[in-house]
Structure 1
Amino acid sequence: MRSRRRRPQIFRAVVGILTAALLGAASVGPAQAAANDGRLKLGVLSFSPSSVDATAEGATATLDWTVTNGNASAATVSGDVYIRQITAGGSAVGSAYDISYSLRPDGSTMTSSVSGNAQSSTYSYDFSVPQYAAGPSATWAVVRVTASDDQGNTLTVDKGRLSEFASTVTAKELVDSAGPTYEWISVPPDQPTYLYNAAKPVTVAYDIEVVDPESGFYKGEVTVAGPGGQTASGKLKVVTAGDGTTSCGPNTGSWGINDMICGVSVTIPAGAAAGTWAVSRIRLTDNAGNTSVHRNLNLAPVQVTQNGTLQASDFSITPKAVNNWSAPQKLSITMQPNGVRQGLASATVWTDTGCGGSVTQAPVISADGTITVTATMFQTYDKECTITGIALVDGAGDVAAYGSYFDEPDLNLVVTQIPDTTPPVATSASLSFTTVAASALPRNVELTADVTSFAGVNGYSLTIYDSTGDPVGGGYGGLFAVTDGTVQIVAGLSQGLAPGVYTVGFTLTDSGGLHAQYGYPGNVGSPAPSGPLQITVTDS
């Protein structure tokens, strides 16, 4: 059963109020009275209380510190304080907590100035003491302090000097006696599972969810194993930023350090054995120092190749130009496989964002020794489709991989969109009625037009004009693209139209943005294809 998730620790900043000794006041504190030596110094640092009972969640110890600056021209001070669990011998355990501070908080820092100015500023932070440790007590210590000002002066105080301060807090703890577990590990969707490593190393990315409900996850190592016992490893580690957020490599997802999705990369050396490489071992350590090792795994396999036994050549694609303005278009990719053992198991095609790839199971080898697989160029807005990768797998498990998707030379398989240069054409047009009584208004009229279009008619507008050429009604809208067929356009005749003859003009727009106009007054565009489009409104 999966352990219950705990809420992540939340850092609580103590936001102080600047005292009357504001920056720029005549009296600025003792540091400015000192020589203008540009030196930043750590004046005071202490925890209060010096011991807490953390067995109940929510115990805190307040850390106060002061930074002085001998540079009278400095206006700002900022830096970081790092807190970490240490052993009796001074060794670090688990990850460090990074507390960012600033005299003038910019929204990303964890704590604010309580009093002072750039020459002498004091800070305060409520440290949430972790509830779990390896034993019934633990010591948490400030292990590093940094500071900098706007004049380029910097300060770094490490643990040797920090021993001069009351920089530790001792806590009664709940005992964490078990290491972390993992929920799953997988190759991200955008990561190739076929890898080419003939001339240089290849890197495999993995995502892994790690759970440690007590002290929380700290670091780990993922090992993959290939043919002949060859192995490669990659490390992962939780990092706490100065704003209190935690990360664990790329694709980080987090419910706090107790349940994290981490990204880890493993590099397989150039020329390492071709074949299946899979995660064989996962080593995980929590913030109490407990380590769990999961062995004899066979997870998230990838295929490594040098295009040795199985190969392919003579890649081509047809057609090289398509009309995809109104509908997706199928593309045929042909190649010559060589060294096939036990038949071809699959052929996979990867493309750029302008089109879609495919997976063909058991592709048929034709009489001339070639195979043909497909890709799809999407509709309308995609001007170009590039095949970025092709991988073949045969029945013996051999793999051949080609293209930039595998960091190999481009395949030079590119298809382009045929430009739209011809506006749509209406070959006929008629109205659903040509006479209507004024008393029957308002009423919709429907225009039916037969059209042909290279790019497909996908929009229209229709306007109704009175005898003086002023518009008195109409409508506009979109259509599913029609390349050769009938379109129907609906517009409204308003109530209150005076008896008389009204003219209808309409515009057809295609998927490429070209348009054609018909029937408008003043000889705008072309005449209506089947004669004038007119509606007579009668007084009865």
Structure 2
Amino acid sequence: MSRSLARGLLRGTLTLALVTSTTVLGSAVAHAATPRLALTALSFEKPTVDATTTATAVNRLTFTVTNTDPEAETVRGVVTLRTRSTVTGEVVGHERLAHYLYGSTSENADFVSGTPQQSTYAYDFRVPRFSDSATTTWEVTRVTILAGERETTISGDKLQAFPGTRFVAQTAVDASGPTVDTIQLANNEPFLYVNDKPASYAYTFNVQDYGAGFWKGTLKVAGPGGQSVTTPFTWERPANSWGGITCGGSDTSGGEEATYVACTARVTLPAGASPGNWRLSQLVLFNNAGVRTTYQNPTAPSVTVTANSTVQASEFAVSPAVVNNWREDAVVELSWAVTDALRGVASARFWLSAGCRQSTLPVNRPDGHLAVTVQVSTGTEACSVTGVAIVDGAGRAALYGSMFGAPDPQIRITRVASTEPPTALGATLSPKTAPASELYDLPPVELTVSAALKVAPARIATTYVYDVDGNVVYQSWGSGDQAEDGTLTDHLYLGWYGLTTGEYTIGFTLADAAERSTSYGVLGDPTSEPMPGGPLVFSVTEG
């Protein structure tokens, strides 16, 4: 091959490679284009609204969003509105949210028309009547668009490029701030254990503002040594909520006007918070017009904080720790020792898991320990101490148990074990026979079973009546409690079942409170025992 031919072939090959590379690259760029979400139109219907005399003035907001993804099947999002004070120029009051969803009129912004690629929505904004001045500006501050995992937010200068993002409302002036009613502790327990981890407690109260409506607040607590913690709170509308709002976990059935709001404000104290009394020193409330109400040292319960570094309790014990409460309540003694108490022990309270409760006030024992009695309810399998609060005469506290996040006193009360199944000693019927003509008026046949008295009480769980072919012609479920002499009774209403002349055999199953069972004379049960004293038979005679 000549050099010129070789060079020609090489140039052709390079040209073909370059063309191929360019085509592939162009294709890759085209396929890599990311779909875009955008706001293309937004405006209020009216530039001004008079809301001075009514709470039902409405200004319609219409907006259009686009999605360049041709395969998109839906789009959704939220439009945020805020009020801007004419007095201060600041954005004030709680945000108003207009949720929208393609094809839906169940959101507070309705779908009007379009496709997932371009859709229009309308939100009838009910203009609040009250503000801090005679005129108020309402504006859209943010628009969020979501499609699948993609999200776009339009705000600031990009949003202000739309000419219809604001309108002016004539409003009534609200110069008074919110008010609060009784302030309480959320769990009514005035104790908090704070050691090497932060710990929290909460206040509950109701805020009223029948003008502009409640917006937000702060709650300040003060403790020993000048320590303090300030907690902000406000209300929100939970997802998929129709009319309900929540403030710190307290639910209120009310609209966005928030004229009456139940609030829970949770206070978190830092690790190592000073032990002693922590009080509510200040409560500040704002309404949607920005008007402020300040309560200094409001009436509210305080909280005693401890790390068990002052007064302490130890040597927790319970006697007996195992009880027989199968048939009746049991009573045990719970004792403990206290050290470093000033002016004695003022109070001692124990919280126990279900089935047990403290039943007496503490008493001093001769050995220097204190003791209370605990009542263990009938049938309770086990219970434990979940909380202990010991307070000395100086108001200092020691806390124990899981409910306070404090050291476990390790007190557990258990029921004595039942290891034997129920046992029948004998069984009788009364009457044992009846003529066929009298069956309809026959009073119930009484089955009496004599059963051994064991740890767990027994009952007749099921009674079966069989014909001569072994078919069940009658069945009953359950009898009353076992008597003190061990007997059990079941009443069989045989007269209602059209029994014919012949003999009918009885079988039954005993079950106890420990869920063990024993069967006697039950056909088809390979574990069934023979009837004690022989088969139990009811006879229907002629006549």
Q: Smaller-chain TM-score range?
A: 0.7 to 0.9
Aligned residues: 500
The answer to whether structure 1 residue 364 and structure 2 residue 363 are counterparts is: yes
CA contact (8 A) 1:389 1:403 kept: yes
Change (3 A) 1:242 1:250: closer
Q: Deviation per CA, 1:365-393, whole angstroms, max 9, x where unpaired?
A: 2121212234455554x654232221111
Q: What residue ranges of structure 2 are gaps of 5+ in the alignment?
A: 1-31
CA offsets 1:250-296 (integer angstroms, 9 cap, x no match): 23334341111111111233443433323232211111111111223
**Following TM superposition, by how much is the alpha carbon of 1:46 offset from its aligned partner in structure 2, in angstroms?**
0.3
**Equivalent residue, structure 1, for 2:219:** 222
Shift of 1:445: 0.4
**Preserved contact between residue 360 and residue 374 of structure 2 (Cα < 8 Å):** no
Mapped pair 1:460 → 2:461:
yes
1:321 and 1:119, CA in 2 relative to 1: closer, same or farther beyond 3 A? same
Give the letter aligned to residue 492 of structure 1. Answer: Y
CA shift in 2, pair 1:242/1:408, >3 Å: closer
Aligned to 1:114: 112
Query: What residue is the counterpart of 1:470 in the other structure?
Result: 471
Output aligned runs, 1:131-280, within 5 Å: 131-150=129-148, 152-165=149-162, 166-189=164-187, 192-227=189-224, 230-241=227-238, 243=240, 245-256=244-255, 257-280=258-281
Using a 3 Å threshold, how does the CA distance of structure 1 residues 147 and 537 change in structure 2: closer, same or farther?
A: same
CA distance in 2, matches of 1:209, 1:402: 32
Cα distance change, pair 170–420 in 1 and its aligned pair in 2 (3 A): farther
Which residue of 512, 515, 518 maps to 2:517? 515
User: How far off is 1:327 after superposition?
Assistant: 4.6
Deviations 1:16-51 (A, max 9, x none): xxxxxxxxxxxxxxxxxxx96523221111001222
CA contact (8 A) 2:105 2:111 kept: no
Asked if structure 2 preserves the Cα contact closer than 8 Å seen for 1:99 and 1:242, the reply is no
1:118-137 alpha-carbon deviations (Å, 9 max, x no partner): 32221111111112212222
Counterpart of 1:56 in structure 2 is 54
- Look at both structures and tell me which one has the larger radius of gyration over its CA atoms: 2
* Deviation at residue 344 of structure 1 after TM alignment: 2.1
What TM-score do the two structures reach when normalised by structure 1? 0.84
Is the 2:85–2:132 contact (alpha carbons within 8 Å) kept by the matching residues of 1? no
The answer to whether the 8 A contact 2:183-2:205 is kept is yes
Query: Counterparts of 1:409 and 1:537 in 2: how far apart (Å)?
Result: 70
In 1, the alpha carbon distance for the partners of 2:355 and 2:230 equals 35
Query: Mind listing any 5+ residue stretches in structure 1 that lack a counterpart?
Result: 1-34
Aligned pair in 2 of structure 1 residues 379, 79: CA closer, same or farther (>3 Å)? farther
Change beyond 3 A, Cα 1:469–1:38: closer
Q: Deviations over 1:216-254 (max 9, x none)?
A: 111111222334554332221112356564221123334
Q: Deviations over 1:433-452 (max 9, x none)?
A: 12322221132101122332
Structure 2 equivalent of residue 526 of structure 1? 529
Aligned residues: CA RMSD: 2.8
Which AA in structure 1 matches 2:74?
T
Report the 3-state secondary structure (helix = DSSP H, G, I; strand = E; otherwise coil) of the residue aligned with 1:162.
helix
Secondary structure in 1 matching 2:500: coil
**Structure with higher RCO (Cα < 8 A, 6+ apart):** 1
1:328-343 aligned within 5 A:
328-343=329-344
Superposed CA deviations along residues 327-375 of structure 1, whole A, max 9, x for unmatched, are 55444332111123333222212234x44443753x1121212122344
Q: What CA distance in whole angstroms lies between the structure 2 residues aligned with 1:532 and 1:295?
A: 84
Between the aligned partners of 2:527 and 2:470, the Cα distance in structure 1 is: 12
User: What TM-score do you get using the length of structure 2 for normalisation?
Assistant: 0.84
1:465 CA drift (Å)? 2.5
Q: How far 1:322 sits from its partner (Å)?
A: 4.2
Q: Report what 2:67 is aligned to.
A: 69
How far apart are residue 464 of structure 1 and its match?
A: 2.2
Aligned to 2:495: 494
Matched, 1:346 2:347: yes
Task: Provide the secondary structure at the position in 1 that maps to 2:489.
Answer: strand
2:43 is the alignment partner of 1:46 = yes
Please tell me whether the aligned partners of residues 219 and 280 of structure 2 are also in contact (alpha carbons under 8 angstroms): yes
Q: Kindly indicate which of the two structures has a greater share of residues assigned to strand.
A: 1
Q: Could you say what secondary structure the match of 1:184 adopts?
A: coil
Q: 1:37, 1:308 → 2: CA distance?
A: 62
CA distance in structure 2 between the aligned counterparts of 1:57 and 1:299, rounded to whole angstroms: 35
User: Take 1:43 and 1:331, find their aligned partners in 2: how far apart are those partners?
Assistant: 75
Q: CA deviation at 1:400?
A: 0.9
SS of the residue 2:301 aligns to: strand
Give the whole-Å Cα distance in 2 for the aligned partners of 1:59 and 1:299: 40
Shift of 1:103: 1.8
The 3 A distance-change label for structure 1 pair 71 and 502 is closer
Aligned partner of 2:301 in structure 1 is 300
8 Å Cα contact 2:245/2:254 also seen in 1: no
Deviates more, 1:210-219 or 1:485-494: 485-494
Any conservation in 1 of the 2:460–2:489 contact (CA below 8 Å)?
no
Q: Note closer, same or farther for the CA distance 1:255–1:457 as it changes in structure 2 (3 Å cut).
A: farther
Letter in 2 for 1:216: G
How many angstroms does 1:396 deviate by? 2.7
Question: Against the structure 1 CA distance between its residues 479 and 135, is the aligned structure 2 distance closer, same or farther, given a 3 Å change threshold?
Answer: farther
* Structure 1 residues 484 and 300, CA gap change in structure 2 (3 angstroms): farther
Question: Could you tell me how far apart the structure 2 residues matched to 1:482 and 1:142 are?
Answer: 77
Question: CA distance change for structure 1 residues 195 and 316 in 2, over 3 Å: closer, same or farther?
Answer: same
> Secondary structure of 2:181's match?
strand
Change (3 A) 1:349 1:458: farther
Cα contact 2:460–2:508 (8 A) shared by 1? no
- Asked whether the 8 Å contact 1:206–1:265 carries over to 2, the reply is yes
Name the CA distance, whole Å, in 2 between partners of 1:240 and 1:438: 72
Counterpart of 1:16 in structure 2 is none
Q: Is the 8 A contact 1:326 1:481 kept in 2?
A: no
Q: Evaluate the alpha carbon distance shift between residue 481 and residue 351 of structure 1 in structure 2; reply closer, same or farther with a 3 A threshold.
A: farther
The amino acid across from 2:528 in the alignment is G
Q: Deviation of residue 514 (structure 1)?
A: 1.6
